[in-house]
Amino acid sequence: MLYLASDHAGFEMKQQLLLKLTEAQIPFTDLGPYTGDSVDYPDFAHKLAESVLVEPENRGILLCGSGNGVCITANKHQGIRAALCWTAELAHLARSHNDANVLCIPARFVSFEIASAMVEEFLATAFEGGRHQKRVEKI
């Protein structure tokens, strides 16, 4: 399952991504917030991290203004490998080399087109394993 969450700074971009995922018929669960009102990002990042950890194949997408707050929070959970990305290439590497299971997007610093490309790459890319596996195990 794919989970998405944000804070108020990432709300509008999250809404656009939800629409794109719906159009692409990619199933997801929106963990909030459900309005653009000010919220505390850790509440939503913790909820998403806990949801992703339920099944090994689950993935998550978190958005906040800088992407840093949600990324730091999600990475507090054992088993979460959240990656802050700015380009589709970084999203690809986060999956293929680091087996990232959460993509963190800095909504105030990337366009919707870039965010959309990152999500596509994140969802389409498999973990390479091999020499990267032992490194991931050391995290």
pLDDT tens sequence across 60-97: 999 999 999 999 999 999 999 999 999 999 999 999 99
Is 64 among the residues known to form the active site?
yes
pLDDT tens sequence across 20-57: 999 999 999 999 999 999 999 999 999 999 999 999 99
Task: Please state, in angstroms and rounded to a whole number, the distance separating the CA atoms of residues 128 and 33.
Answer: 33
Phi-psi region of 90 (alpha: psi -120 to 50; beta: other; left: phi over 0): alpha
Q: Which of 46, 77, 97, 132 is catalytic?
A: 97
Split into its structural domains, the chain has a count of: 1
pTM of the model: 0.97
Q: Which of 64, 71, 85, 104 is catalytic?
A: 64
The packing angle between helices 88-98 and 112-124, to 10°, is: 20
Q: How would residue 136 be classed by pLDDT, with cut points 50, 70 and 90?
A: very high
4 neighbors 60 (Cβ within 8 angstroms): yes
Q: Looking at the DSSP assignment, which residues form a beta bridge with residue 64?
A: 106
Is 97 among the residues known to form the active site?
yes
CATH code, domain carrying 35:
3.40.1400.10
Question: Of 5, 13, 38, nearest to 116 (Cα)?
Answer: 13
41 neighbors 72 (Cβ within 8 angstroms): no
Domain that holds residue 32: 2-137
